[in-house]
Amino acid sequence: MRRKNMSTVEIPWTSESIRPRREGRRGWPLILDWVYLFLLLAAFPYTLYKLFATEKYRHGLRERLGWVPPRAGKAPCLWLHGVSVGEVLAARQFVTELLRTLPDWEIVISTTTRTGQQIAHQHFGERHQVFYFPYDFTRAVHSTFQRIRPDAVVLMELEVWPAFLEEARRRALPVFVANGRLSETSFRGYQRIRPLMKRFLEPIRMVLVQNPIYGERFRSLGVRERFIQTTGNMKYDNLPAPILAEAAHSLRKEYGFDPTEPILLAGSTHEPEELALVEIYESLRKTDPGLRLILVPRHPERAADLTKRIEERGHPVLRRSRWQLNSGSNSEKKSPTPSIFLVDTIGELGKLYCLADLVFIGGSLIDHGGQNVLEPAGAGKPVLIGPSYRNFKEEVERLRDAGGLLVTRDSSELETHLTHLLQDPNARHRMGNRGRETLTELRGASAENASRISNILTPTLSSRGSLPKKNKPIH
């Protein structure tokens, strides 16, 4: 992918370009607080039930209310926010590039979801402060800013929280959107409140989008055209490298699979896709009795119910959380055959793609819009997906046109394609190679985004002289 010459890129942010808050606008964040409070009270019985019945809704509540641990360092700080797992994983190479281009800066990372927290701690916890993003109440947002003391904010893809963006504008902090994307569904929703969106997005001073289509959508919502730049998709920079056959065999042994068993992996599945895959698995085993099925539901908390329903169909289920991985290359411990391997843990999907022979991507046999196809394609695996893939339309169509992915109309056609590919190892190999080669050509967005942001932040901090008085440390 061609990149623009950095010398031609306009610097769209200076400390003077974020206007101080006008007197007439002081009250609108408080109005938002009242709106949020009304909605909270309207849903109070349901909210109360979820807090008591579901542990994940209580997890991190203190931090979400603004009581994050105060940042100890005094270096300039960049606050990077990713909503959930996908955004956090996409940020891995980006953070590495930011540390290279901004060596004197501290980077802190927030997420919205609990699974995002787990992945963020796994990848960044040793070096960076990781915490929950605050609820969009004025006091919670203000408290978090006071404790973190950021000098700049980077939002991965985009998440619009008005009180948060207003607080950043009030502090004259530059806000960037990296790996920016606006799905068709989100765009239609935002268009309904376009006048409000234009106000909400006012503090954003650079939007680095994945493609021109997303750029046009941001422009339509009120972001000035000179603030929008196309730099590509950072997810291409974080794809796993294909592993050698010997390493794949070792990985299979680690999980208890025989190196000769063909493996079908269904990743990021949603209800009721798992049972549809089990039916296909039953049919495929009639001609290939050695076939193994790995199910990786998008929401691991569904594992207990899934286990019960699959076992009612007569299939033993082995849950990943109850399986002790083999250690040592000579281990002969095997997972029971013909059990279905159900992954109810977080953070292993990328590694599991490497041991699969065929990969189906979930959220696509139902009207959900599909899930990320890049990881398995980057690992050199043949990828299949259902008819619903609007969330990853560009990626799916690029891989499909290159011959690295098959789009199926329904579960019946999915079974037909799987049957053919199981019987033709050469076809699987060709598909995997074409997908991997296609994605390899598209890398480089992480370095480009980090370069453009750091080129703005370095002179910016020098011009400000020191940290703003508003950002005094809290002890």
When comparing pLDDT for 16 and 463, which is higher? 463
- The pLDDT score that the predictor gives to residue 408 is 98
Q: How far is residue 89's CA from residue 108's CA, in Å, rounded to a whole number?
A: 15
CATH 3.90.180.10 assigned to 29-35+56-232+444-464? no
Buried b vs exposed e over 294-320: b needs ≥16 C-beta within 10 Å? bbbbbebebbeebbebbeeeeeebbbb
From residue 350, alpha-carbon distances to 270, 355, 372, 418 in Å are 18, 10, 11, 21
Q: How far is residue 377's CA from residue 414's CA, in Å, rounded to a whole number?
A: 17
Number of residues in the chain: 475
Residues 248-257 have a mean pLDDT of: 85
Catalytic residue flag (residue 157): no
- Residues 6+ positions from 401 with CB-CB distance below 8 Å: none
Share of the chain above pLDDT 90, in %: 68
What digits encode the pLDDT tens for the residues 96-137? 999 999 999 999 999 999 999 999 999 999 999 999 999 998
Task: Report the Cα–Cα distance between both ends of the chain, in Å, rounded.
Answer: 47
Q: How far is residue 9's CA from residue 172's CA, in Å, rounded to a whole number?
A: 22
Q: What is the DSSP letter of 312?
A: T
Residues 396-401 have a mean pLDDT of: 97
Please tell me the CATH code under which domain 245-440 is placed.
Answer: 3.40.50.2000
- The pLDDT score that the predictor gives to residue 11 is 39
pLDDT class of 419 with cuts at 50, 70, 90: very high
Q: Is the pLDDT of residue 12 over 50?
A: no
Q: How far is residue 419's CA from residue 264's CA, in Å, rounded to a whole number?
A: 11
114's enclosing H/E stretch is helix 114-124
Residues 72-76 have a mean pLDDT of: 94
Q: What angle do CA 188, 110, 83 make, to 5 degrees?
A: 25
Residues 208-221 have a mean pLDDT of: 95
- The pLDDT score that the predictor gives to residue 335 is 72
Q: Is the pLDDT of residue 463 over 60?
A: no
Buried b vs exposed e over 170-207: b needs ≥16 C-beta within 10 Å? bbbbbbbbbbbbbbeeebeebeeeeeebebbbbbbbbb
- The pLDDT score that the predictor gives to residue 347 is 84
The letter for the amino acid at 122 is: Q
Q: Is the pLDDT of residue 28 over 70?
A: no
- Residues 6+ positions from 82 with CB-CB distance below 8 Å: 88, 90, 91, 109, 110, 111, 116, 120, 156, 157
pLDDT class of 43 with cuts at 50, 70, 90: low
H-type helices in 208-254, by residue range? 212-220, 245-254
Give the residue among 200, 99, 117, 49 at the shortest CA–CA distance from 454. 99
Per CATH, 29-35+56-232+444-464 and 245-440 having the same topology is answered yes
What digits encode the pLDDT tens for the residues 149-172? 999 999 999 888 999 999 999 999
- The pLDDT score that the predictor gives to residue 346 is 87
Give the residue among 78, 92, 107, 116 at the shortest CA–CA distance from 235. 92
When comparing pLDDT for 55 and 142, which is higher? 142
Q: Is the pLDDT of residue 138 over 80?
A: yes
Q: How far is residue 128's CA from residue 126's CA, in Å, rounded to a whole number?
A: 6
**Which value, to the nearest 10 degrees, does the dihedral of the CA atoms of residues 162, 163, 165, 169 take?**
130
Q: Is the pLDDT of residue 32 over 80?
A: no
- The pLDDT score that the predictor gives to residue 328 is 45
| Domain locations in the chain as residue ranges | 29-35+56-232+444-464, 245-440
- The pLDDT score that the predictor gives to residue 17 is 45
Mean pLDDT lowest among 162-176, 408-422, 453-467: 453-467
Share of the chain above pLDDT 70, in %: 82
Q: Is the pLDDT of residue 67 over 50?
A: yes
- The pLDDT score that the predictor gives to residue 1 is 42
Q: Is the pLDDT of residue 467 over 50?
A: no
Catalytic residue, from 10, 55, 87, 167: name it: 87
- The pLDDT score that the predictor gives to residue 213 is 93
Q: How far is residue 386's CA from residue 392's CA, in Å, rounded to a whole number?
A: 12
Residues 354-358 have a mean pLDDT of: 94
Whether the model pTM is above 0.95 = no
- The pLDDT score that the predictor gives to residue 313 is 94
Residues 159-188 have a mean pLDDT of: 92
pLDDT class of 468 with cuts at 50, 70, 90: very low
- The pLDDT score that the predictor gives to residue 423 is 96
